[in-house]
Amino acid sequence: MHEKVVITGMGAVTPVGLGVGATWRALAEGRSGIGPITKFDVSAYDSRIAGELKGFDPGEYMDRKEAKRADPFTQYAIAAAKEAMEQSGLDTSEQNGNRIGCIIGSGIGGLTTWEAQHSILLEKGPSRVSPFFIPMMIADMASGQVSMIHGTRGTNYAIVSACASGAHAIGEAFRMIRLGELDAAIAGGAEATIAPMALAGFCSLKALSTRNDEPEKASRPFERDRDGFVLGEGAAVLILESECHAKARGAIIFAEVAGYGSTADAHHITAPSPGGEGAARAMALALRSAGARPEEIDYINAHGTSTQLNDKFETMAIHTVFGEHARKLAVSSTKSMTGHLLGGAGAVEMVATVMALRESLLPPTINMDNADPECDLDYVPNQARRATVRLALSNSFGFGGHNVALAVRKYPAES
């Protein structure tokens, strides 16, 4: 008998807002968080825009001395986890800490720290490299720090699967709770890659939009004139619990995590498998895990990166899985507003999906000026839409051929 898994808390710091409330309001209003990069001189780069966090002060979420010893991606995770734990009211103690896990993914980890310390190495020599360099840089430190702060002593690790990292973290936490291995988990993703090396690398890949004069219009998933994705930064964290554990402590339940599907393309280091074959299998597995039929899905929060192949093949995958129902369900990409948070994207989009269920409101895909004939679904263009959402999917796909689909059900389920 599987445990039912529910969500009792959420936290987020994103390019469109600090906190879940601010983030959701921006998404519902169709506001872009994309603008010129201000962190460093970008005059020599082809792409000079990104979704930066605005007004983020790590001292509001953690001790300032400790903040100096944490890479930005860890700071973002700590901030999101703080909000989620406060909202959830989940208490950790000597008695229950062993049954609470923490899984927070990151696609790249402490790149900002790596760049800064590498410069010190070259300019001042090895003796001047910080003793905190390694623990600040490694990708597991967001999960490790959050676990230390909140006293969770169950499973604790980071998942690194590129842009599927945050979704994988939530999926694995769901699986462990469902199997009775944990009572609860802090799960999500964090990323801070608006840095010279990352920007140069993605520019060299020709993966980024160069619509520098109109940054708020640069991320345009599924649209005919899309020219690449836009980097974003931030984090999101969710508190997952078994339903019986949440009910026993009187927690407010926001939604049920109903299913999880994970596959590999085994095809190419960056390109998705032709026709979205791997993505289709992930969605099908999530449906099976949820015990749901394709026609029960009302909404999909798409991976929707604003790149040519991803958007086309994700559309094809949806047609493969849903058949005629694909024309009836709504699909939108909140990356049109946040940009692409890489390892943090799946967690941010899971928060958006939960809010869509709770608020009966579909966030739009903005910048849909001209339909791409190869992307022929209902992408909720430009304006949010009122709709009853009983069961939804959130898709995340990553370089290396990683595919994740998460199924989320309204709670309590409508009969």
355-369 tens-digit pLDDT: 999 999 999 999 999
Active site residue 340: yes
The residue-averaged pLDDT of 292-321 equals 98
Sorted by where each begins, the domain ranges of the chain are 5-248, 260-410
Span 346-395, pLDDT tens digits: 999 999 999 999 999 999 999 999 989 999 999 999 999 999 999 999 99
Is 163 a known active-site residue? Answer: yes
- The overall pTM is greater than 0.85: yes
CATH for 260-410? 3.40.47.10
Q: Tell me, what's the pLDDT at 184? A: 98
Of 303, 319, 375, 402, the active-site residue reads 303
Q: What is the mean pLDDT of residues 301-320?
A: 98
The answer to whether 166 touches 347, Cβ cutoff 8 Å, is: yes
As a whole number of angstroms, the distance between CA 395 and CA 346 comes to 7
Q: Let me know: does 24 contact 355? Beta carbons within 8 Å.
A: yes
pLDDT digits (tens, 9 = 90+) for 136-187: 999 999 999 999 999 999 999 999 999 999 999 999 999 999 999 999 999 9
Contacts of 223 (CB under 8 A, 6+ apart): 306, 365, 367, 368, 369, 370, 371, 372, 375
CA of residue 58 relative to chain centroid, distance:
20
Q: Is the pLDDT reported for residue 342 higher than 80?
A: yes
Q: Flag whether pLDDT at 1 surpasses 80.
A: no
Average the pLDDT over 261-279 and give the result: 95
pLDDT mean across residues, the chain: 97
The pLDDT score that the predictor gives to residue 408 is 98
| Residue 115 confidence (pLDDT) above 70 | yes
Q: Which CATH number fits domain 5-248: 3.40.50.720, 2.60.40.10, 3.40.47.10, 3.40.30.10?
A: 3.40.47.10
Digit-coded pLDDT (tens) for 199-209? 999 999 999 99
Q: Catalytic residue among 168, 245, 319, 340, which?
A: 340
| pLDDT digits 0-9 by tens, 34-61 | 999 999 999 999 999 999 999 999 999 9
Residue 93 has a pLDDT of: 86
Mean pLDDT of the 219-239 span: 98
Q: Tell me if domain 5-248 and domain 260-410 are identical in fold.
A: yes
Q: Do residues 331 and 319 make contact, with C-beta atoms less than 8 angstroms apart?
A: no
Beta bridge partners of 235: 13, 190
**CA neighbours closer than 13 Å in the CB half-sphere of residue 388:** 5
Active-site residue, selected from the candidate residues 102, 163, 203, 375 = 163
**pLDDT one-digit tens code per residue, 21-32:** 999 999 999 999
